[in-house]
Structure 1
Amino acid sequence: MTEDFAAAERTALRGLLDALKREGLVPPEWERAARAVPRSAYVPELIYLGDDLEPCNRADDPEAWLRAVYADDSVVTQVNDGEDPGEDGERWASSSASAPGIVFRMLRMADVGDGHRVLEIGTGTGWNAGLLSHVVGAENVTTVEVDPVLAAMAKGRLWGEGLRAEVVAGDGALGHAGGAPYDRLVATCSVRSVPRPWLEQVKPGGVVLTPWESPWICYGLLRMTVDGAGAASGRFSPHSAFMLMRAQRTDLRIFRDVVRDAHRPDESSTGLPPWRVAGDDFAAQFAMGLLLRDVWWTWHDDPDVEGVASRLWVATTDATSWAAVDWDGTSDDRFTVWQHGPRRLWDETEAAYAWWTSHDRPGPERFGLTVTATGETPWLDDPGRPVPAMG
């Protein structure tokens, strides 16, 4: 490392920490960890920037690389699950270093303390495990990574920095029973359903903290307390979006997997603008995800249909039912609806939106989830007020 690069890194780190401290995100113990565990030691030489995921190599452009490493933003560190997409192939993000702001927010929410035994799901670059190791002791940190190449690289970085945490290559949904019981479980990938082994491997009174995702939206954090009888309950909070756990991924496309030429949908109309449920209101979208638990959506702009400027598709994850809502580009009070399959998905969407508005449009922080041996129950305000399933 050159002296100029080291000086630039110190300046970048100071600027990042000052900004995060102004937001109240970095208490003293985590600031010390951030200084002792430099993010630059964990982010790989090759990263991917921007919406087009353009490669950025530290050797070729050290200034751009360093700016990305110490920005309060996520950094894509792997595309296409490590497969080479080729010069003209489509790139999609498959692993990233989370934004420092959300990293420190989650560490505070998990209430990790000295001597706690911590299980991390989703090692990624290893930086989060490094921060944990500095605070609780590396001997108390176990981290699981599904990608064996990423796991080996992270272990090399951690051990190279003298932090000999246990790095396990395996399915994070299974946790790691060999190190149980844990005081805290922190996931760095989102889930649509909480894996039961997580609850079994955390001590009674221990905390599970995981990003949350529904097929409708990737948004929110879930903090649960384990009761010692195989169950857990806790609340959601907003402001996060993480890559979905690989074991829970779905790969669905409307014209490839759902809509068929032979389908003859029923036509109707609606007064509910489609952007109310699939627009910029993340609180509405989060609620839709809890109420419509197996439904996803996608927009189709300029669909090459006469009189249609934009179309919202909604469909079930089993690809058996779908609906489409058309906007003609001018009217804001009436929209054409097409529905096909055993479920009337737009009818369900309207019912879900009506429920949400009738309960004062609650945000994620008013919702929670209880997990028991018989399933998962979302609730509003307290566990005694379950959220209905509209499907």
Structure 2
Amino acid sequence: MESIGAEGRDTMRGLLGAVNESLGAPMAPAWEAALREVPRHTFLPEKVWVGEDLVECSRDAAPGDWLRHAYADAAVVTQVNDGQAAAEAGERWASCSASAPSIVFRMLDMLDVRPGHRVLEIGTGTGWNAGLLAHRLGAGLVTTIEVDPALAARAAGCLERVGLDPEVVQGDGARGHVARGPYDRVVATCSVRAVPPAWIAQTVPGGVVLVPWESPWFCWGLLRLTVDGFGGASGLFSPHSAFMLMRGQRVDLRIYRDVVSDDHVPDESMTRLSPWAVAGDDWGAQFALGLQLPDVWRAWQHEPEVEGVASRLWLATTEADSWAAVDWDGAASDRFTVWEYGPRRLWGMVEAAYDWWRGAGCPGPERFGLSVAPDGTHVAWLDTPDQPVPVLPRSAPPRTCGPDNEVHHGTGTL
């Protein structure tokens, strides 16, 4: 196995301390051994991208920086644009990453693997997570699926070079891999907006399915399901992680390309609910709204080229049939202009969802859970399965507004 030298050993010790601090307790000895004996850097490509701007870092050009990124407790992007070259930094978008080690080991701890367990991993990526599992469980018990042929081939090579033997399958992870099942544990390293039924069907009763969660409104949270003996599963969310969405569940929508048209004439109204209350720093509020509005997404536009508007929050449906915009003029803190178009009054639905969350005591993600029925129906709940979260209908009546929220129909100009 490739040596990382004195600098690498120092950075690895620093990483161990950072992971333990993040977890709030020392990791289990078996996982610490895996961290030391399955070095993260051996799974990273020669070129990675770091930071929000996806700055390229090459091992050849900056070996010290590259190694520090390999052993920092931070995600490292390992592929951009699904492997297609992007000439300019602004054209890059992350399509694969090595997750922050602290979330990797948090998820491995939550997975609660035991000797003899068979594990299915969805999303091989670099192969490091599969390598850690294979180190812990031994030969023949880990299967990992990767949709990208190039990533699957590279991960298989990395695993072989470090002497580990999980089964690497190139294919659609949403289908699972029935040939190696049933599994005691299924873990995804990509987020989902709906749990594929194959993952539950291929898990033994009492087994665990652990997946990062995402709604179009907000990407955040882990869902740990326990499979029952009747084709369903149920479990709680936890307030950790943000992962890239499974490729098969991606929806590529843009406000001006796909949603808003020049001939749309929106209704204008006013609201006292700040757009930052529902799409700002309160992650609990955003998580709750995402559960109630499972087909509504949002995007910020700061400093739009509109007179008298300093910031704008856009909302739209994933069907692209309705949209709304909430404008801040840069001065007022209790009145915001609302524009709405389409059969659904989206801002009114956001207000209703936010009011429900406030009325429930502003619960965090850890109080929410999800049940998946044998027919695939997903039902989110608060505290217990007999308290379902209200999912707002896909059609809604016009907003009912008082003097402070007067609606002007069909007069707006964005």
Query: Which bracket does the TM-score occupy, shorter chain normalised?
Result: over 0.9
Q: Tell me, in whole angstroms, the C-alpha distance in 2 between the residues paired with 1:25 and 1:121.
A: 27
Which residue in 1 is equivalent to 2:136?
Answer: 135
1:345 aligns with 2:320: no
Are the counterparts in 1 of residues 57 and 65 from structure 2 also a CA contact under 8 Å?
Answer: yes
Q: For 2:229, what is the secondary structure of its paired residue?
A: coil
Q: Please list the CA deviations of residues 228-263 of structure 1 after superposition, one character each: whole Å capped at 9, or x if unmatched.
A: 221000000012100000000011111111001111
1:144-223 paired onto structure 2 within 5 Å: 144-223=145-224
Give the direction of change, closer, same or farther, for the CA distance of 1:331–1:314 in structure 2 (3 Å limit): same
Q: Tell me, in whole angstroms, the C-alpha distance in 2 between the residues paired with 1:25 and 1:328.
A: 49
Residue type of the alignment partner of 1:209:
L
Residue type of the alignment partner of 1:284:
A
Q: Tell me, in whole angstroms, the C-alpha distance in 2 between the residues paired with 1:224 and 1:13.
A: 32
Q: Tell me, in whole angstroms, the C-alpha distance in 1 between the residues paired with 2:53 and 2:347.
A: 33
Are the counterparts in 1 of residues 54 and 89 from structure 2 also a CA contact under 8 Å?
Answer: no
Are the counterparts in 2 of residues 309 and 326 from structure 1 also a CA contact under 8 Å?
Answer: yes
- How far the C-alpha of 1:159 sits from its partner, in A, is 1.4
- How far the C-alpha of 1:89 sits from its partner, in A, is 6.4
Residue type of the alignment partner of 2:339:
W
Q: Tell me, in whole angstroms, the C-alpha distance in 2 between the residues paired with 1:332 and 1:54.
A: 36
Instruction: With the length of structure 1 as denominator, give the TM-score of the two structures.
Output: 0.98
Are the counterparts in 2 of residues 21 and 27 from structure 1 also a CA contact under 8 Å?
Answer: no
Which residue in 2 is equivalent to 1:376?
Answer: 378
Q: Tell me, in whole angstroms, the C-alpha distance in 2 between the residues paired with 1:88 and 1:14.
A: 33
Which residue in 2 is equivalent to 1:114?
Answer: 115
Q: Tell me, in whole angstroms, the C-alpha distance in 1 between the residues paired with 2:230 and 2:207.
A: 12
Superposition misfits of 4+ residues, deviation over 3 angstroms: none
Are the counterparts in 1 of residues 54 and 92 from structure 2 also a CA contact under 8 Å?
Answer: yes
Residue type of the alignment partner of 1:99:
A
- How far the C-alpha of 1:138 sits from its partner, in A, is 3.3
Which residue in 2 is equivalent to 1:77?
Answer: 78
Q: Please list the CA deviations of residues 198-232 of structure 1 after superposition, one character each: whole Å capped at 9, or x if unmatched.
A: 00000000000000000001000000000022100
Which residue in 1 is equivalent to 2:15?
Answer: 16
Are the counterparts in 2 of residues 132 and 138 from structure 1 also a CA contact under 8 Å?
Answer: no
Which residue in 2 is equivalent to 1:45?
Answer: 46
Are the counterparts in 1 of residues 55 and 89 from structure 2 also a CA contact under 8 Å?
Answer: no
Q: Tell me, in whole angstroms, the C-alpha distance in 1 between the residues paired with 2:219 and 2:187.
A: 17
| Number of residue pairs aligned between Structure 1 and Structure 2 | 390
Q: For 2:140, what is the secondary structure of its paired residue?
A: helix
Are the counterparts in 1 of residues 284 and 363 from structure 2 also a CA contact under 8 Å?
Answer: yes
Residue type of the alignment partner of 2:167:
E
Q: Tell me, in whole angstroms, the C-alpha distance in 2 between the residues paired with 1:96 and 1:2.
A: 22
Which residue in 1 is equivalent to 2:319?
Answer: 318
Q: For 2:305, what is the secondary structure of its paired residue?
A: strand
Which residue in 2 is equivalent to 1:35?
Answer: 36
Residue type of the alignment partner of 1:16:
L
Q: Please list the CA deviations of residues 274-328 of structure 1 after superposition, one character each: whole Å capped at 9, or x if unmatched.
A: 1100001111000010011100001111222222111111010000001111111
Where structure 2 has 5 or more consecutive residues not aligned to the other structure, the ranges are 394-414
Q: For 2:257, what is the secondary structure of its paired residue?
A: helix
Instruction: With the length of structure 2 as denominator, give the TM-score of the two structures.
Output: 0.92
Q: Tell me, in whole angstroms, the C-alpha distance in 1 between the residues paired with 2:300 and 2:18.
A: 36
Q: Tell me, in whole angstroms, the C-alpha distance in 2 between the residues paired with 1:308 and 1:217.
A: 24
Please provide the CA RMSD for this pair: 1.3
Q: Tell me, in whole angstroms, the C-alpha distance in 1 between the residues paired with 2:348 and 2:88.
A: 45
Residue type of the alignment partner of 1:216:
W
Residue type of the alignment partner of 2:222:
L
- How far the C-alpha of 1:9 sits from its partner, in A, is 1.1
Q: For 2:299, what is the secondary structure of its paired residue?
A: strand
Q: Tell me, in whole angstroms, the C-alpha distance in 1 between the residues paired with 2:270 and 2:246.
A: 37
Are the counterparts in 2 of residues 42 and 157 from structure 1 also a CA contact under 8 Å?
Answer: yes
- How far the C-alpha of 1:25 sits from its partner, in A, is 5.5
- How far the C-alpha of 1:10 sits from its partner, in A, is 1.0
Are the counterparts in 2 of residues 159 and 165 from structure 1 also a CA contact under 8 Å?
Answer: no
Q: Please list the CA deviations of residues 170-222 of structure 1 after superposition, one character each: whole Å capped at 9, or x if unmatched.
A: 01111111111000001000000000000000000000000000000100000
- How far the C-alpha of 1:6 sits from its partner, in A, is 1.4
Q: Tell me, in whole angstroms, the C-alpha distance in 2 between the residues paired with 1:113 and 1:2.
A: 29
Q: Tell me, in whole angstroms, the C-alpha distance in 2 between the residues paired with 1:129 and 1:111.
A: 15
Which residue in 2 is equivalent to 1:277?
Answer: 278
Q: Please list the CA deviations of residues 56-106 of structure 1 after superposition, one character each: whole Å capped at 9, or x if unmatched.
A: 111211110011010000000000000111256601100000100000000
Q: Please list the CA deviations of residues 342-385 of structure 1 after superposition, one character each: whole Å capped at 9, or x if unmatched.
A: 00000000000000000000000000000013410000000000
Which residue in 2 is equivalent to 1:264?
Answer: 265
Q: Tell me, in whole angstroms, the C-alpha distance in 1 between the residues paired with 2:352 and 2:266.
A: 20
